Amino acid sequence: MSSYPPDGPPQTTLRQRLADLRGPAVPPRPLDARALAALAANPGCGRRALLDGAGVDKTALAAALGSPAAFGQSQFAIVRGNSFEARVKGDGGVELLRLTHARLGGGAEPPGPDSRVPDLTAAGPEGRAARTALALREATAAGTWTLLDHPMLALEVAGTPAYLEPDAVVVHPDGRWTVVEIKSFPMIDGAADAAKVGAAARQAAVYVLALEQTAGKLAGAEVGHQVLLVCPKDFSNLPAAALVDVRRERAVTRRQLERLTRVEELAEGLPQGLCFDPARPAAELTEAVSAVTASYAPECLAACELAFHCRERAREAGEPAALGRSVRGELGGLTTVEAALAAAAGARADAGAHAGSGPGTDPTAAALREAARLRAEALASAAARPPYQAPETPECPC
């Protein structure tokens, strides 16, 4: 039973506990919007929630476990992206403000010499987030076009604050705030790769949620649910902009983040002395990681650094989810691959026992038996057919 007050452990105690889990000498790895979007995509995974909440470097941890996963952009793509972003924001953000006005200006006056690009420098993420909140407040009160270059936004996730840094936020004269995402993938004839736009929308939705936390305390401020996506136009280095509606992504992400198990509850249930410091031996780390429940699905391969490790464990345990979330859903009460195979072979499956109706009456088991029978029939008829003979082709005259 928890000895903490009803509103959770004191923050200093929780911070110390998370530092112990990370390794006392290991600096915390900050959460970014990409990680949060991935976290929200698998809210049932306590392992990821705890490791991200404690600021564990999952890339280093996966390598120490012997299952490294390559993630992130290539060095070339990073350099190209940075140079494009610098170009888009060059000259005091004139071009970016012009693009915003062209897409979202409504009846507002175009940005003029009174447009502002406030200085957001401050010490540490907390200081930068406070400086950004102040700049947003001042820009909303001033009623002029304002460009916030790399602002810092705070968003509380599973009881701990995450600091997020969008490419830019534009404040309109009417008090609207718009998230700007600058990407290096091309926009050809006004359209870009749908998968990349979808990923950018999920990331931008996290920024929108963080901005809403700040805007909620400020009269007259409103956060736009359309974000401005800026990409290179037709393989050139010129910027093209399009509006992306992130209402759906925002709603999904908010729901998923709310469902995330609170980090202190996860940390509380773990044995003392547990540590995810990548410098520890692999066997010790494997045991530590296994102490936190995971929810592996093949989608993890595109979103989480621990995917290869978790896939291996899920396969060892015979979890149907390793074959896909839809397979797990279809199998219902059959909770292991072994049980599903036994049901297909006609043996008493735990689903039948679970349903209390005896063997042979569970519809999933019956469907599996039928599928196994059809497969056996198809294989037998294929084996009975004479081997395929390729037709003789006339000799080539040349």
Q: Which is nearer to ligand SF4, 214 or 335 (CB)?
A: 335
* 61 contributes a contact to ligand SF4 by CB under 6 A: no
* 266 contributes a contact to ligand SF4 by CB under 6 A: no
| Cβ 132 to ligand SF4 shortest distance, Å | 30
Which window, 114-122, 217-225, 239-247, 294-302, contacts ligand SF4 (CB under 6 A)? 294-302
| Cβ 46 to ligand SF4 shortest distance, Å | 8
Please name every residue paired with 292 in a beta bridge, in sequence order, or none if there are none: none
| Cβ 42 to ligand SF4 shortest distance, Å | 4
Question: Applying CB under 6 A, which of residues 88, 96, 307, 349 lies at the interface with ligand SF4?
Answer: 307
Tokens of 187: 């926009």
Is the separation of the CB atoms in 256 and 244 below 8 Å? no
* 257 contributes a contact to ligand SF4 by CB under 6 A: no
| Per-residue contact string for residues 200-219; x = within reach of ligand SF4 by CB under 6 A | --------------------
| Cβ 292 to ligand SF4 shortest distance, Å | 8
* 310 contributes a contact to ligand SF4 by CB under 6 A: yes
Q: Which is nearer to ligand SF4, 101 or 311 (CB)?
A: 311
| Cβ 115 to ligand SF4 shortest distance, Å | 42
* 45 contributes a contact to ligand SF4 by CB under 6 A: yes
| Cβ 127 to ligand SF4 shortest distance, Å | 31
* 296 contributes a contact to ligand SF4 by CB under 6 A: yes
Question: Applying CB under 6 A, which of residues 17, 22, 48, 176 lies at the interface with ligand SF4?
Answer: 48
Name the site residues for ligand SF4 (rule: CB under 6 A): 42, 45, 47-48, 294-296, 300, 304, 306-307, 310
